[in-house]
Amino acid sequence: MTSPPYAGALRDYSWQSFALWDGNMSCTHTFERRPSGDYCTTCGAFRGQLGHEPNADDYVKHLMTVLTAVHRVLKDEGSLYLNISDTYHDGALLGIPDMVCAEMRVDGWRKLEEIVWVKTNGMPESVSNRFSRRFEYLFHFVKSKSYFGNIDLTRIPPLHDRQPAIDKTKFVKHDTSVKRTGNVSYRDPLHSRPNHPLGKNPGNVWEINCAHEMGPHPAVYPLELCYRPMVASCPPGGTALDPFCGIGTTLVMAKLLRRPAVGIEINPQFAEIARENLASVDRETQTLSTILDQKEKDQSFSLDAFVAGK
Ligand SMILES: C[S@@+](CC[C@H](N)C(=O)[O-])C[C@H]1O[C@@H](n2cnc3c(N)ncnc32)[C@H](O)[C@@H]1O
């Protein structure tokens, strides 16, 4: 699971996040300085921060070099959850998520789901001529049809307590809407199937508070966002990878859930904080282990609520 820097220089991760993108590896490079970063006049390589490219095409091309490498190391049963959002340029959306998804498809990725992360406490935008954006995407990609997936630990309590069978003499809402009259003497699974004993599928719209603490990192995602992807798509014994790990939120969740994790972070200051964060989760790991055991015994226990600190 990962969240790369977004396009349009939305965040400044400092010169310590500069990298060399694209171009010819054997070129000795003559760089021309531009406000966004430096371009080699010989081979076109870009030296600067990912996300600070002067155009969307270059951003997508650079991001794809990382995602292609992720595809190479991912197991056939593995998943990638990509948190990405769009960027306004000159008053209009650039369409970055669509551009990235199109390239990923060409690269062999299979898009399984588009999860919408609704940021319940999203930052206000000072716009009065359009609605402000309150969501980001969390795209679920897999590599093959034999991907691992088990959402049982993420199930949530159902809205209504549905009984195993209906009173067949009564009309139900669906019958009324399709204008079906007379005796209802059929077993429509929509009407008669009982709730799943472990709760309902949480669906693909997730309402989760942003992590707003103003720490040293400008774009941390909330720990809770990592919980469902981790338990649903990374089996016990599987390894989690975050190629843009920041201060290690994905890795912390992996550790809480007893999965080994690997993080890649270009900025040494953030990498150090990630190490500290990982070192400080031992107490929680113990707590969560107890709770996971408890959940196996008591299916009504809400692990989501625990992770959200409720
Ligand atoms: C959106 S942040 C990820 C934050 C992370 N999800 C967290 O919660 O801490 C993106 C991170 O990617 C890092 N980054 C930028 N370019 C990178 C590169 N070429 N290789 C590795 N990390 C990079 C940035 O320094 C930044 O910390």
Give tens-digit pLDDT for 86-142: 999 999 999 999 999 999 999 999 999 999 999 988 778 889 999 999 999 999 999
Nearest to 182 by CA among 196, 168, 192, 194: 168
Q: Is 84 helix (H, G, I), strand (E, B) or coil?
A: strand
Average pLDDT, the chain: 86
Can you give the pLDDT at residue 195? 81
In ligand 1, the atom with minimum distance to the C-alpha of 2 is 6
Query: Which CATH code, of 3.40.50.150, 3.40.190.10, 2.40.30.10, 3.40.630.40, is assigned to 15-155+199-305?
Result: 3.40.50.150
Q: What is the mean pLDDT of residues 246-267?
A: 95
pLDDT per position as a tens digit, 166-181: 455 455 556 666 666 6
Kindly report, residue by residue over 182-191, the tens digit of the pLDDT: 655 555 555 5
CB-neighbour burial class of residue 88 (10 A; exposed 0-12, middle 13-18, buried 19+): middle
| Alpha-carbon span 299 to 292, nearest angstrom | 10
pLDDT (average), residues 281-303:
59
Asked if residue 7 has pLDDT above 90, the reply is: yes
pLDDT reading at 161 higher than 80: no
For ligand 1, the distance from its centroid to the CA atom of residue 86, given in whole angstroms, is 17
Specify the pLDDT at position 310.
43
Q: Higher pLDDT residue, 44 or 300?
A: 44
Q: Whose CA is nearest to atom 17 of ligand 1?
A: 266
Residue, of 196 and 185, whose pLDDT is higher: 196
Probe target for ligand 1 pocket from 265, 278, 281, with the most ligand atoms within 8 Å of CB: 265
CA distances from 31 to 16, 27, 28, 55, 243 (A): 18, 11, 10, 18, 27
Ligand 1: centre distance to CA 4 (Å): 6
Asked which of 111-115, 245-249, 296-300 is least confident by mean pLDDT, the reply is 296-300
Ligand 1 centre to CA of 57 (Å) is 20
pLDDT over 70, % of the chain: 79
Q: Which two tokens stand for residue 40?
A: 């080699």
CB within 8 Å of 5: residues ≥ 6 apart:
11, 13, 17, 49, 50, 51, 219, 244
Instruction: Give the model's pLDDT for residue 126.
Output: 87
Contact criterion met (CB below 8 Å) for 96 and 10: no
The domains of the chain are located at 15-155+199-305, 159-194
Task: Check pLDDT > 50 for residue 78.
Answer: yes
User: Which protein residue has the closest C-alpha to ligand 1 atom 26?
Assistant: 246
127 CA distance to ligand 1 middle (Å): 28
pLDDT at 165 over 50: no
pLDDT confidence bin for 298, thresholds 50/70/90: low
List ligand 1's pocket residues with C-beta within 6 A: 3-5, 13, 17, 19, 50, 217, 219-221, 244-247, 249, 264-267, 270
Query: Quick one: which atom of ligand 1 is closest to the CA of 270?
Result: 27
Q: What distance separates the 2 farthest-apart alpha carbons in the chain?
A: 82
Counting from 1 in the atom list of ligand 1, the atom nearest the Cα of 14 is 25
Q: What is the per-residue pLDDT across 31-75, written as a single tens digit (0 to 9) for each?
A: 999 888 899 999 999 999 999 999 999 999 999 999 999 999 999
Helical H runs in the chain? 56-73, 96-106, 173-177, 189-192, 223-233, 249-256, 268-279, 282-297, 303-307
Q: Which atom of ligand 1 is nearest to the CA of 274?
A: 9
pLDDT given for residue 99 in this prediction: 98
pLDDT value of position 69: 98
Which residues neighbour 16 within 8 Å (Cβ) at sequence distance 6 or greater? 266, 267, 268, 269
Q: Which residue has the tokens 């966002």?
A: 225
How far apart (Å, rounded) are the C-alpha atoms in residues 250 and 16?
A: 21
The answer, yes or no, to whether residue 300 has pLDDT greater than 70, is no
Cα Rg of the chain, angstroms: 23
**Mean per-residue pLDDT, 269-275:** 95
Render the burial of 158-175: b for 16+ CB within 10 Å, e for the rest. Answer: eeeeeeeeeeeeeebeeb
Q: Where are the alpha helices (DSSP H) in 163-248?
A: 173-177, 189-192, 223-233
What's the pLDDT at 181?
63
